[in-house]
A and B are shown apart, each in its own frame.
Chain A
Amino acid sequence: MRKQGAIWAIGVALAGLLALPTLSRSLGLPAYYLVFLYFFFFWVAQATSWNMISGYAGYFSFGQGAFYGAGVYGAAVLIDRHGVPYGLAVLGGALASVIVAYGIGLVVFRLRQIRGPVFALVTLAVAIALHSLVNNVGYLDGGQGIPLPKLEFPWGLSDVEFLYYAGLAVGLMAVGVGWWMYRSRYGWGLRAIHDDETVAEGLGVPTFAYKMTALAASGAVAGLSGGLHALQVRYVTADAVFSLRVPLMVIMMCVLGGPRHWLGPVLGAGVVHSINDRLSGPGMGRVSEIVMGLLLMVVVATLPEGIYGRVKARGALAGAVGLTVMGMAMAGGVVLLNALAIGVGASVILLVVPRRG
């Protein structure tokens, strides 16, 4: 009964998301709502990608920028230097990212002592090395950045609408893979690796193959999402692509949402993006960092399993409170996305508040 209800809810949500661009066009709503949702899908894909190797298998990575960057630059170079159609170029970006992931895996996992903090540093070093490579090799970028041409999209879709649908597809695919990993035999093996890799290996889990697969899947999802993002930004520069923003954001989203469950990155991306988006105006950057930093500290200190752990217990209540607060804010004249951020904030506060007794 509960399962059926969940399937219905997912079906309705999906139908709503698919109909949204048409609805938005006919109601004359600002295109920014679709852009806002595109970024949500982007962060869901990136955070889910990070979670595959770092949340499930316990290999904490600072190298998300390397996978994402390989995707962005893979697609941008293929489009700009070789005139490859953008669909194929985005897939090429994913492939570039898988190659980077596989290369890291072969070096790091063959040398078995590389775990824990050293793994995190190695992944960061790869991202830094890629940054330098891209900046210094003219074919890749050479420090000039790569401007991408305005592209034509099928079925009369505007660029915003196309990116919305493509972002939705990549986000759903990422969550689908994350969900399957979590529930399958494979996911159980990753969880065992997370808890005690030596014991897992001795009890029959093929740890090397599992870690390589997790890293490659993480690279594929991050690269695909990164390749698509190249079409969104349309002017890619190494300094922006390989900055610490992406790795830090995905870590925060997963830790906040809950890194051991497939839903954690989705929740984390929703909370961080909806609040962060409202704090990104001129002069608000520092405020955003302070708010996010405080939120992260509170969650790490009080909810080591992230807010997902509390969603099971009081998710319905938090959702109801969030919607009520959002509705009240809108009734008071607050614009939609500001009201959403306030509603999300109220829900998170309710989830974080400790249980009585």
Chain B
Amino acid sequence: MDIHGVRKSFGGVYALRGVSLEVRKGEIVGLIGPNGSGKSTLINVAAGYYRLEAGRISFGGVDITELAPHRRAKMGLARTYQHPRPFGSMNVRDNVAVVALFGRGEGIGTPQSAQRSARQWLELLGLEALEEEEVGSLTLQERRMLELARVLASDPRIILADEVLAGLTASETERVMEAVRKIQAMGVALLVVEHNVKAVSELSDRVVVLHEGEVLAEGAPCEVLQKESVRVAYLGGSAGDA
């Protein structure tokens, strides 16, 4: 996915001021930055929920700037939500099955085959015991895993993962990170928005730092996180304070 010169404002205030970034096949790119830096706006722009004022987005060589979200999903672009949003009237299995039905390309033909497919994704992420559960009874970590199972069922080529680790304990974080690594091993690219800098640096092949709607730094995690400008912007102090 290639995001080029993207600009977006709300009520005259720019949330993105000409952001460009690229996510290559099978790569994990960490997107970090302080609150209000434009991370969530960028995810929404990439998924097709906000119209751009300038710039373009291409995916697999195709310009998708004007495409509706469901058409982007059909091309293999999937997203998760910071606050998991499962379909409340469906159990765990059907939450995954409905996505399999409408996933990349034509999706899976019938609800029955989609339910069989859903079981496989739940097994992969260790959720098979919960398949008949109502989503209201799940813990936060289970809901996050369900979000991942759901996007996997769409047979994605890239996942825009919005803070999948937020609010998790250390052991839960490790489980979700393991799931993310499994997903990468399947050849799926991920753009991971995250506040947990340690986790991002462990997971990502590259890191992009956003600050006030602009790309502040980009590169290998260990190099980027050592930059003085990043430490000042992101951690709110000098390298010595951090």
Whether B88 contacts A205 by the Cβ 8 Å rule is no
- In whole angstroms, what is the CA distance A331 to B102 when docked? 56
Contact partner of A204 (CB less than 8 A), chosen from B89, B103, B110, is B103
- In whole angstroms, what is the CA distance A202 to B46 when docked? 11
Given contacts A195-B90, A203-B78, contact A188 B70 (CB under 8 A): no
Give the number of chain B interface residues (Cβ < 8 Å).
31
Whether B90 contacts A202 by the Cβ 8 Å rule is no
Decide if B4 is an interface residue (CB 8 Å cutoff): no
A-side contacts of B14, CB under 8 Å: none
Given contacts A201-B70, A202-B69, A204-B74, contact A188 B89 (CB under 8 A): no
A209 to chain B, nearest CB (A): 9
Given contacts A204-B74, A204-B154, contact A199 B85 (CB under 8 A): yes
B-side contacts of A202, CB under 8 Å: 47-49, 69-70, 73, 78-79
Interface string of B137-168 (1 = CB under 8 A from A): 00000000000001100100000000000000
Decide if A206 is an interface residue (CB 8 Å cutoff): yes
Whether A204 contacts B73 by the Cβ 8 Å rule is yes
Given contacts A185-B110, A189-B101, A192-B98, contact A203 B85 (CB under 8 A): no
Whether A201 contacts B68 by the Cβ 8 Å rule is yes
Given contacts A191-B87, A195-B90, A199-B81, contact A205 B111 (CB under 8 A): no
Interface string of A43-61 (1 = CB under 8 A from B): 0000000000000000000
- Residues in A204-228 with C-beta less than 8 Å from chain B: 204-208
Whether A203 contacts B99 by the Cβ 8 Å rule is yes
Q: How large is the interface on A (under 10, 10 to 19, 20 to 34, 35 or more residues)?
A: 20 to 34
Chain A residue nearest to B77 in the complex (CB):
A202
A-side contacts of B48, CB under 8 Å: 202
Given contacts A185-B111, A203-B78, A203-B154, contact A191 B101 (CB under 8 A): no
Whether B101 contacts A185 by the Cβ 8 Å rule is yes
Interface residues of B (CB under 8 A from A): 47-49, 68-70, 73-74, 78-79, 81, 85, 87-90, 97-99, 101-104, 107, 109-111, 114, 150-151, 154
Interface residues of A (CB under 8 A from B): 183-185, 188-189, 191-192, 194-196, 198-208, 260
With A184-B111, A199-B85, A203-B151 given, name 18 new contacts (CB 8 A): A185-B107, A188-B114, A189-B98, A191-B87, A191-B89, A191-B90, A192-B87, A194-B89, A195-B87, A195-B90, A196-B88, A203-B98, A204-B73, A204-B102, A204-B103, A204-B154, A205-B70, A260-B89
